[in-house]
Structure 1
Amino acid sequence: MTNSSTTMLPPIVIQACIFDMDGLLINSKDVITHCTNQLLKKYGRPAFTRSIRVQLMGVPNSTNGDIFHEWAKLPIPRETWARELKEQMQLDFQSCVPLSGAEKLLSDLSCAQNTSGERIKLALASSSKTHSYRLKTSRPETKQLLDVFHPDQRILGDDTRLPHGRGKPAPDIYLLALQSLNSAAGTGEKPIMPEECLVFEDSVAGVEAGRRAGMRVVWVPNRDVGAEYESKQELVLAGRMTKDALRDDSHLEKVDDG
């Protein structure tokens, strides 16, 4: 429900859909959790709690950041942890598979038209780096799923056009994905504007990245994330949960703006 003072966003014809990947299209976040818990057990530490797992979702290099290490209190140097976890994940990432519903959604959208009769354009905006992406898509069914995105419209976390330190929740990766779509447009095609893009995200940081880019966002949280933020869904959808990370509130959206 929204109150009478709420300012709703005007109706917009969606021209493009931009997707996150990890935990939204493929089960790589479950793989990361499994690898992390195995290594935590090796060093006598408890498994991920729901709360700490949710805080780390969607944040680049989160399993070697301050939040994780302050919680984990590992008896080894960060460098050792990072090396061992990377080695384990490189093995297990090769088992990644599509999540339920992902194949049908992308298949339907790849041949869909909007209400104006124009073809919906698709792009990927993933924090995964190139090497990890290749491992995660090594199974035939996973590669086939992601092949719906043209290589030029797959923006990954190590793209040289992304400024250092500007991963999600910063909007840069989504704006770059939009730029890639407009660069591929035919002669005479009108550029797609941010508000004409629909972002699909599972993480809170990713939702904020999409909203800060000026785009509409469909939030698809997993069970843990949905439960953790059940009482704060309106703030999540407005992109107002991780604002301190950027110290820039100028592009925050309004709660319940539609």
Structure 2
Amino acid sequence: MVPSKFKACLFDMDGTLLNTEDLYTEATSDLFKEFGKGPLTWDVKIKLQGLPGLEATKIIIDHYQLPITAEEFAKKAMEIQATKWHRANYLPGAFEILAHLKQNGIPIALGTSSNKLNFERKTNHLEGFTDFFGDHIVTGDDTRIPKGKGKPEPYIWYVCLGSLNEHRKSQNLEPIKPEECLVFEDGIPGVLSGLAADAHVIWVPHPEAHAYIGPVKEKLAGRKMQILNSLTEFPIERWV
């Protein structure tokens, strides 16, 4: 049974709250130009979601027939990405949702597959971003996540909720259960991760990804999930 109201919200970051997925795509397409290839398109990008970095890079190299090793490509890509993170910004509706939840005392946490260094590069210039989440920020290299158990495994959300519940315990409040949480995600691995955690998922795919998510959407029909075109569509006062 789906609760009429949810008690906590757990957020992915890249492509869900921030426009960094577009910056990843831009950086990869810039690198392609060195070889007269590209751009990176969503029919390819959809296949890369959730894969380990080098594995995803090998698919890119094979698809675009690039004369470079996966390690060389990854190094060049990271150098280009680092020049773009200062342009990371909120996606439509993201700031408003976070502000509403904070103002109304709804517990929130962040669970991102980005490592701590990239998280800081993407967010340090966004005044107040980390203040929304306080101590409840879990990055992909957090040692509380079992090794090799990132998304689509559920553990990142368990760590997020565990952090919130530790704080609640200090205030003599009852713990929140996974099924009482909303997980906000843009990517297929994150959606699967949220469902595996027994949370209800709000799936906000990238606008260009909609044409390629059909099979997954059909497979997940009937699960605890709702698909939105934008966070601006989220009826916040009805759900939390």
Same fold (TM > 0.5):
yes
Q: CA deviation at 1:30?
A: 0.5
Alignment check: 8 A CA contact 2:111 2:137 kept: yes
1:1-258 matches, within 5 Å, as 9-11=1-3, 13-61=5-53, 64-112=56-104, 119-139=105-125, 142-150=126-134, 152-185=135-168, 186-230=170-214, 232-235=216-219, 238=220, 255-258=221-224
Gaps of 5+ in 1: 1-8, 113-118, 239-254
Alignment check: 8 A CA contact 1:124 1:177 kept: yes
Q: How far apart in 2 are the matches of 1:154 and 1:55?
A: 27
Q: How far apart in 1 are the matches of 2:67 and 2:143?
A: 35
Alignment check: 8 A CA contact 1:14 1:197 kept: yes
Q: CA deviation at 1:58?
A: 4.7
SS of the residue corresponding to residue 100 of structure 2 reads: helix
Q: How far apart in 2 are the matches of 1:215 and 1:62?
A: 30
Give the count of matched residue pairs. 223
SS of the residue corresponding to residue 151 of structure 2 reads: coil
Q: How far apart in 2 are the matches of 1:143 and 1:77?
A: 38
Which amino acid is 2:30 matched to?
Q
Which amino acid is 2:62 matched to?
E
Gaps of 5+ in 2: 225-240
In the TM superposition, structure 1's runs of 4+ consecutive aligned residues that sit over 6 Å from their partners are: none
Which amino acid is 1:128 matched to?
S
Alignment check: 8 A CA contact 2:7 2:176 kept: yes
Alignment check: 8 A CA contact 2:61 2:68 kept: no
Q: RMSD value over aligned CA atoms?
A: 1.9
Relative to structure 1, the CA distance from residue 55 to residue 143 in structure 2 (aligned partners, 3 Å threshold; closer, same or farther) is farther
- Percentage identity across paired residues of the two chains: 35
Q: How far apart in 2 are the matches of 1:175 and 1:13?
A: 20
Q: How far apart in 2 are the matches of 1:109 and 1:60?
A: 32
Q: CA deviation at 1:165?
A: 1.6
SS of the residue corresponding to residue 18 of structure 1 reads: strand
SS of the residue corresponding to residue 25 of structure 2 reads: helix
Q: CA deviation at 1:145?
A: 3.0
SS of the residue corresponding to residue 209 of structure 2 reads: helix
Q: CA deviation at 1:231?
A: 5.8
Alignment check: 8 A CA contact 2:113 2:139 kept: yes
Q: How far apart in 1 are the matches of 2:100 and 2:178?
A: 22
SS of the residue corresponding to residue 180 of structure 1 reads: helix
